[in-house]
Amino acid sequence: MGRAPCCDKANVKKGSWSPEEDAKLKSYIDQHGTGGNWIALPHKIGLKRCGKSCRLRWLNYLRPNIRHGGFSEEEDNIIFRLYISIGSRWSIIASQLPGRTDNDVKNYWNTKLKKKFFGKQRKETSAADPKQETLGDGHGNRGATGWPQQPALTYPIDHVCHGIRQGQASMRNEHGVRGDASNSLAMPSTVAQQQIYDDDPFSLAWSSLLQNSGAQALLCPTSFSTELDEILGFNLMKMEGADRRLVDESDAATKSENMNWKEVSPFLYPNMYDERL
Kindly give the residue spans of alpha helices, DSSP state H, lying in 65-121: 73-86, 90-95, 102-108, 114-118
Closest distance of CB 151 from DNA, Å: 27
Nearer to DNA, 140 or 156 (CB): 140
Nearer to DNA, 6 or 128 (CB): 6
Nearer to DNA, 90 or 118 (CB): 90
Distance of CA 218 to the CA centre of its chain: 23
For DNA (CB under 7 A), the number of binding residues is: 47
Rg value, the chain, Cα: 21
Query: What is the rounded CA–CA span in Å between residue 263 and residue 168?
Result: 8
Name residues whose C-beta falls within 8 Å of residue 242's C-beta, 6 or more positions apart in sequence: none
Q: Which of residues 19-58 bind DNA (CB under 7 A)?
A: 34, 36-40, 49-53, 55-57
Residue selected from 124, 230, 257, 274 as contacting DNA according to rule CB under 7 A:
257
| 147-155, 167-175, 252-260, 269-277 -> range binding DNA (CB under 7 A) | 252-260
Q: Which of residues 172-191 bind DNA (CB under 7 A)?
A: 178
* Spatial contact of 83 and 94, defined as CB atoms under 8 Å apart: no
Q: Burial level of 20, CB count in 10 A (0-12/13-18/19+)?
A: exposed
Query: What is the rounded CA–CA span in Å between residue 142 and residue 226?
Result: 6
Site of interaction with DNA (CB under 7 A): 3-4, 6, 9, 13-17, 34, 36-40, 49-53, 55-57, 60-61, 68-69, 88-92, 102-104, 106-108, 110-112, 115, 120, 178, 255, 257-258
